[in-house]
Amino acid sequence: MEIRKTLNKSKGLREGSTVDTVIIHYTGSMSTEGTLSWFDNPDAKVSAHYVISRSGRVYQYENWRTVLWHAGKSEWNGRSGLNRTSIGIELVGTYHSGFEVKQMGALWAVLRELYKELPIKYVLGHEQVSPGRKTDPGPNFNWTYLRTQAESDHVPGLERVGPYAIQPPDKPDPVVVVHSDMPVGDDGDGASGPSLWEVLSKWLKRSS
């Protein structure tokens, strides 16, 4: 695992007791280096705690005490601004690409360690905390794999993984509401806008 720093973060550190959610994203591109370069760019105003490449290599930004900018405008169970209480994991891929076996294995290894260190209650997709605005990790993400691994490793709270997550008491409808077939990517704290890949593509063109 490679540890990296980023300027795209909030000031101060948080206590472990406040971090109870993991949010899974796709990068919107097939380029690991492009994603890392974008997270390293202070103009991007976006970041996540982990980036997992197609081959399963894991890059960690900062540590779980740092508030990074991956969830944007988000809400779950009546709580908004989930950057403050979550860990963001970016899988290199797109809405249509699906994810590699080694990549999913690396994701579970990361989740297993987070379960040991933090009081994780929910493992969610960005589409669940920003319904109608985000679509990641998309329909090709294998939630059943995560649940099977969690069961095998005797992780409690299996009903809190993915689309099977506990519903807010006042919202009995399905959690996942996807209104578009196109990814809308990740953004900074509370902002909305073009996809990560759209912005990244323009930046790469300017830099070349």
Structural domain spans, the chain: 2-207
Name the CATH topology of 2-207: Lysozyme-like (3.40.80)
Q: What is the pLDDT of residues 91-139, one digit of tens each?
A: 999 999 999 999 999 999 999 899 888 888 888 999 989 988 899 998 8
The string of pLDDT tens digits covering residues 49-89 is 999 999 999 999 999 999 999 999 999 888 899 999 999 99
- C-alpha to C-alpha distance for 185 and 183, rounded to whole angstroms: 6
| Model confidence, pTM | 0.78
Which of 2, 90, 127, 151 is an active site residue? 90
Task: Compute the average pLDDT of residues 170-196.
Answer: 36
In this structure, how many other beta carbons lie within 10 angstroms of the beta carbon of residue 172? 7
Residue with tokens 């996807």: 178
Mean pLDDT of 159-173: 48
Rounded CA-CA distance 196/26 in Å is 10
Please state, in angstroms and as integers, the Cα–Cα distance from residue 196 to each residue in 105, 106, 187, following that order. Answer: 24, 22, 7
| CA atoms within a 13 Å half-sphere pointing along the CA-CB vector of 157 | 14
Nearest to 127 by CA among 58, 84, 60, 174: 174
Q: Which residues pair with 25 in a beta bridge?
A: 90
Alpha helices (runs of H) in the chain, residue ranges in sequence order: 32-40, 101-117, 126-129, 143-152, 196-207
CA distances from 100 to 126, 130, 186 (A): 19, 25, 21
For position 162, what pLDDT does the model report? Answer: 63
Q: Which residue is associated with the tokens 């996809």?
A: 195
Mean pLDDT of 35-51: 94
How many angstroms separate the CA atoms of 157 and 105, rounded? 20
Residue 10 bridge partners (DSSP):
none
Q: Has 90 been annotated as catalytic?
A: yes
Q: How many CA atoms lie within 13 A of 56 on its CB side?
A: 9
Gyration radius (Cα) of the chain, Å: 16
Q: Is the pLDDT of residue 197 over 80?
A: no
The structure tokens 């403050």 sit at 84
Q: Give residue 207's pLDDT.
A: 46
C-alpha span between 1 and 13 (Å, rounded): 22
